[in-house]
Amino acid sequence: MKRFTKMLSIFLSMILVLSIFTSVASASTEGPNAPVDLQIPTLAFDESSVTLVWKKPEDYSDIVDFNVYMNNEKIGTALEDNNGPAKEYIENFYENIDQDDFHVKILIHNFKVENLDPDTAYEFYVTSVDANGKESNPSNKIIGKTTPTPEVFNILDYGATADDETKDTKAIQAAIDAATPGAKVLIPEGTFISGEIWLKSDMTLQVDGHLIGSADAGDYSQNFWLYDYSTDERSYSLINAHTYDYGSLKNIRIVGDGIIDGNGWKYDVNHPTTDEMGNELPRYAAGNNSRVTGNVKVEDGKLSPLDLDSPNTLGILAATQSYAAQEMGMNARSAYAMRSNLITVRGVDGMYYEGITQLNPAFHGIVNLHSENIVINGTIAKTYDGNNADGFEFGDSQNIMVFNNYVDTGDDAVNFASGMGQAAAASEPTGNAWIFNNYIREGHGGVVTGSHTGGWIQDLLVEDNIMYKTDVGLRSKTNTPMGGGARSILFRDNALEEIDGDGPFVFTSSYTDSNAVILYEPAEVISQFRDMEIVNTTVRNQKGNKQAISVVGNSDAGEVYHENITFRDVKFDNVLATNINYGKDIKFYNVEFTNVSNNGEDPWRIANSTGLVFENTTMSAVSEDAAKKPHWPENAAVQAESSADGTSITLTWDAATDNVGVAGYTVYQNDEKIGTSYATTKDTSYTIDGLAPATEYTFKVEAADATGNRTSNGPEVMVKTLGKADTTAPILPENTSIHEPTTTIPASDTFSGEEVQVVYPGFTWASVAWEEASDETGIAGYNVYANGELKGFAKSNRYTLPKLQPGTTYIIEVEAVDVAGNKTPYGSSLEIETAPPYAIGAPTFTDELEAKVENNGSDVQLSWNEATAINQDVIGYRVYVNGQPIKAEDVEFTPINDEMTTTDTTFTVKGLKEGTHTFNVEAIGHSIKQSKRERLADVLENGLVDVSHYRWSGFGPSTTITLGPNIINAKPVLDGDVAEATVSKAALKAAFAKTPKVKGVQIIEVLLEKVSGAKTYELTIPTEFLTKGGKNERIQLSTEFGILLLEGHMLSNAKVKDETVTVFISSGKTDEDKPSIELGVQANGKSVNYNHPGAPVQVVIPYEPTAEELKNPERIGVTFIDETGKQALVKNGKYEVDKGSVTFTTTRFGQFDIVFK
């Protein structure tokens, strides 16, 4: 996997965002502290605007607003001049809902600067303001530069027609395909219908009209897989940016004042909704996998017709896609996953959304997968009550900002995911996210981690948001086999009102999704939520009948707690009591409950939880009990007495005490808790049965009170059971066969009407079962082997084997083990085969693209080494020239189809015109996935069908060639860190012969292609071209480090006897981290003294000034350093803004450093 660059994305490499950190350590003693980390989010700028965000200082208690300055003039305040869609709702919240000032006042720390000039740099800083109007010192200062005015590609110019029933898919895609880097594709005012479209790098999609998704299922490709290891096939989205070569798609913006409408569901006409501002909200039908299609069913071996007009059919696109998938053979549950998201991006580095309104997705809203540097600013989401209609999703993604949005969704508002099960355990965690200044309304959760938590979700800052009528404020959900979890989350300065679902704060390991159909290998480490803080937050007027705080761990696999969650300075009013079950080290500091509406006004319901802390917090008898652990007497002991036959032990112990009362005792055998209940017994004695005679055991006892607060220093004893050692092996059952558990496809789910038993093979796991063995002392469990290797120990007669290899045959064997360690092999075996290996990543190349100019400069022959791919067959290549594909006229290239330019590793591009051409090659990998077809399970093995899956590379090799009579393209060869190239006498003579004079001067340009790792570029040419040429016969040496224009007689006074000379340019850095180059000439490895006042060399060095230097570019210059180290200013050296380079002429070679005078 290619790693993304951890930096701010630069759009078109033309936007300069440079921070100038002031020396302000803190605000003055009379004013508030200064804001910190002023920045321009990724891609949050265009030709006329720049968006600023900043963070609050460590102490912000006296700050009420922020002033914004541009070029040292105040241009507004964050509170008064914020123009995002959340603003009026936030203001209304405090004016009309929070009339008694109960809630925390959130701070606005974003600002959009508008009406700027294109391609212009501006300086910004921000100050804090307190209630008396006093300002802080400035924040760090930054320079933001607007983009040049972009080229606009209007879809109307490509055949789109507004406000009719015509599908505009091809016109929209044609405009996207034609767009040049940095361009804007415009969807103007009016309504346009489209199927799936595909975005590309370095573009803006501006939606000012109403883009509505086609209702035809055939307008959306299938064979979308959420994860590499997914087993549920899905469909692609209305808008897609897609690559498995993560990071090869970059700098994409979706902006505008228009609407992106998924056309997924019908309106719920029975429940019209008006929001708290009096604005009418769309409300979509709350469907499910049967009601989406009006309960179609199998009749006479086929599906009954889909009636979109029936009031029983709740879906539109959701219905047609689900129905089409069922016609292919899926049952209703699997087909329900075939609905399209509104927008899905995969593998993008730099993704920006602003201004758009999202409506009515068939599935999820805006989904970002395996992407980085993502910003969602000032958008509107109105997707309530569409099933699964999440607002913003982030899966396996990092570096995220979500701010200034109005969100009203049918599922989670802002959701984070990180994969499922063991396959996700080694993934990079999802996170480094900042969610602030949003108005979050209806939704299952305001900010949500899970349920896909396998690779961990971490480092979230959630602050200064309003959550009104949301089901849950902070929602963390997972289940036991999912693995991973969420950690390092700070939820502060948020106001929660009328939360009406499971509660303001939910941390649960018991989440289930009725629509989930992905199968995966269970994680080795059980999922957990931990290390979170909820700070300075207010909660009031909770609705429903659940709880203010829900903590639900479990005892499925030992005891799984959610732990180290801290509530600090939190106020709850008119809420329900908490419900904490399997919480550990949860802390409450300055937490106030008033007007608890249930549980006898007691805010605390606590069970199976330990280590809870309460300081300056509303208390009751329950929390007083939870705050103190039971206490053991100083010399507490446990006595053990073995039965005569040694198969049981009776323990007795001294009673522990508690401030309220000891509710029970937990008994551990050899460090493992006995049973699944939190407490083993309420008594001070307990008998353990099923032991092995003549065997040593260690037992320990811990005491717990009614809330579960448990000791950790209880008494323990080591004892050896009586009796004669058991040497009798377990007795096998009559039926010793091993089998794979099956899934029943009911008769109602098959076209034939026959019930079918199927087995779904796992990629890296397999489940097996067998009948139980018996033993006179007891069965401890079973050893399970695969191909002779012990894979695990099962305590029951079922087991899931982990860590298998995909596409591999295994022989499974089992042996019973009794409590004494005696073993009996079952003597039978089961042959299983895991699912075929799934594709991982995209094809990759190991070498560069070779280019050879042919046919007098009109053709270029390209050649490359064959690409390779993991679990894929590389079957072909696409060739691009200047970003445009070479293909037949009627062929469409998409990121997911198998159309290609060639199956060979050579290709000749013909008929090229003079000029610079960039060529690149991408490879396609082909793999097979198995997709469920339950309705055909009686005719397809296990109801599975093979589907082809294609992945294109995005980081394929590239080369740039300039064609023309005066151009020689020389490909250097790297030797160490020196890139060496040679141009022959014949090539130079031919070039001079074909090159006309311009104002009496001939210039032959020798282009040295950039070579990764090179620190020096060398060009070797015949000596005569620098000694016998004239002043007007010149050679231009062009490299990544700089350009040298060499006159044909520059070495005429150097007396060089060798037939060839080598000109070199080396690059380094000065002590001030500025470019330093060395220029030289050698012959036969020895230095040639160039010093010819009559043949100066013109030099151009690319240079990107700092923000401070841009204020005075005339002070940028060049110094020459001679062999003694003496420096002298090159008087004609200067920075040319339009070229972005430092230029000078010189009559001698040596070291030249760029300086700021």
- List residues with catalytic annotation: 411, 444
Q: How far is CA 294 from CA 272, 356, 724, 753, in A?
A: 22, 32, 69, 20
Per the document, the length of the chain is 1157
Rounded distance between C-alpha atoms, residue 205 and residue 254, angstroms: 5
707 SS3 class: coil
Partners of residue 1021 on adjacent β-strands: 1061
Torsions phi, psi for 295 (to 5 deg): 60, 45
Contacts of residue 72, defined as CB under 8 A and 6 or more positions apart, other chains included, come to 123
For residue 643, which of 552, 547, 719, 544 has the smallest C-alpha distance? 719
- DSSP output for 151-172: PEEEGGGGT--SSSS-B-HHHH
Rounded distance between C-alpha atoms, residue 956 and residue 841, angstroms: 13
- DSSP output for 1044-1076: EEEETTTTTTS---SSEEEEEEEEEE-TTS-EE
Rounded distance between C-alpha atoms, residue 1130 and residue 853, angstroms: 39
Q: CB–CB of 482/443 below 8 Å?
A: no
Torsions phi, psi for 1138 (to 5 deg): -65, -25
Beta strands in 410-484 (DSSP E): 414-417, 430-436, 439-440, 447-449, 457-463, 466-468, 472-477
Q: CB–CB of 521/492 below 8 Å?
A: no
> What is the widest separation between alpha-carbon atoms in the chain?
116
Q: CB–CB of 345/236 below 8 Å?
A: no
Q: CB–CB of 195/213 below 8 Å?
A: yes
Rounded distance between C-alpha atoms, residue 377 and residue 373, angstroms: 13
Partners of residue 613 on adjacent β-strands: 587
Q: How far is CA 441 from CA 496, 544, 977, in A?
A: 10, 16, 58
Residue 816 structure tokens: 């019973």
Residue 543 structure tokens: 């609705």
Rounded distance between C-alpha atoms, residue 224 and residue 213, angstroms: 18
Q: Residue 498 CA to chain centroid, in angstroms? A: 31
Rounded distance between C-alpha atoms, residue 372 and residue 349, angstroms: 5
Rounded distance between C-alpha atoms, residue 490 and residue 532, angstroms: 6
Residue 307 structure tokens: 């009636």
For residue 232, which of 220, 240, 242, 224 has the smallest C-alpha distance? 224
Residue 401 CB-density burial (10 A; 0-12 exposed, 13-18 middle, 19+ buried): buried
Read off the DSSP letter of residue 306.
Answer: P
At residue 603, what is the residue type?
P
Rounded distance between C-alpha atoms, residue 119 and residue 146, angstroms: 5
- DSSP output for 342-377: SEEEESEEEEEEES-EEE--SS-SEEEES-EEEEEE
Partners of residue 1002 on adjacent β-strands: 1033
Read off the DSSP letter of residue 619.
Answer: -
Rounded distance between C-alpha atoms, residue 744 and residue 741, angstroms: 10
Rounded distance between C-alpha atoms, residue 265 and residue 382, angstroms: 13
* Helix (H) or strand (E) segment spanning residue 944: strand 944-952
984 SS3 class: coil
